Amino acid sequence: MGKVRLDFKDSIECPASLPDYQSYLLEYFPGSFGDFVSGLISYSIEEFYDTQWSLQMRQRYWNRYDKILSPDAEKPDLILKYEYLLSLKGDGWEHVEKYNDYMLSNFCHHKNRAVFHNKEATKILFNCHPRTSKSGSSIKDFRSQHNDFETTKTFLIHPGKTFEHLLLNSLNFYCTSPAFIWDKENDNYNNFISVWKFMVNSRKIVDDFNFENIIDIRNVADISPDIIKPFGKVRANKFKEMVDAFKEIKFYKLEKRVEEIRAKLIESKEYSLVKGIWSRGNE
């Protein structure tokens, strides 16, 4: 794996592409576990550069409020997020209209120069979200489909093909964000309904475009090594270690919260609205 030296000079020039790497870009919608899948690939496939190789599994997860409140402050009870460091989200990277190999190199030059000093890994994975368009989504909004890459291989995680898979991903998006706290304070699910509409619409867009390089992880708790085999040979022991940790640190709590929210939606009669949005999105 990509263990790195930290005793390098800061004057390294940014190359036109990443030397000595086969680069990949994994695109995903919020809540679709793209950061975790990226970490799983980088950890369990030996050829990949792993920015977090020295961290314990628990150190790879964070509460959204960790970066808002002081370390000793009591934080709202959000579901934890997996943190993937080679992520083109924030700091303006998401606004670049058309990605290319130089952009990935430039990202590393600014955010993680240790990449250029690795002597072990031969593959490197970045991830991103689709670009949000005010005029509605087009193929140009998808980084995995519309780009100027010459060597980078791209994939897109499906937001969820079935009702249950999409609901899980939507509630992962919702329960890791302040929107969950705001709805709890206001005793309603207005923000969740907005998230659900967004995800149902996203699913329809992906299916209408009929992209070829789609990864369907289904229920993430049951993810199998076959899902990430397009990236290389999976080491079964590393894969199992990370999936087991994911379940203990995050998924079991998320699973319980999903059922709590489902019960409250049924009780408040809003579950029929959720079902109706899903039905209209399949017309």
Is the pTM for the entire model greater than 0.85?
Answer: yes
Taking only the tens place, the pLDDT of each residue in 9-35 is: 455 678 878 888 999 999 999 999 999
The predicted pLDDT at position 94 comes to 84
The predicted pLDDT at position 165 comes to 97
The predicted pLDDT at position 137 comes to 75
The predicted pLDDT at position 138 comes to 83
Q: Running along the chain, 283 residues long, what does each successive block of 10 average in pLDDT? A: 44 78 96 98 96 93 86 88 93 87 93 88 96 72 94 96 97 97 95 97 91 93 96 97 98 98 96 97 86
The predicted pLDDT at position 97 comes to 85
Sorted by sequence, the CB contacts under 8 Å of residue 130 that are 6+ apart come out as 27, 29, 137, 141, 142, 143, 202
Domain borders along the chain are: 22-159+209-250
Considering Cα of 163, then 89, then 18, then 119, what sign does the dihedral take? negative
The predicted pLDDT at position 197 comes to 96
Cα–Cα distances (Å) from 176 to 8, 114, 126, 192, in that order, read 36, 30, 21, 12
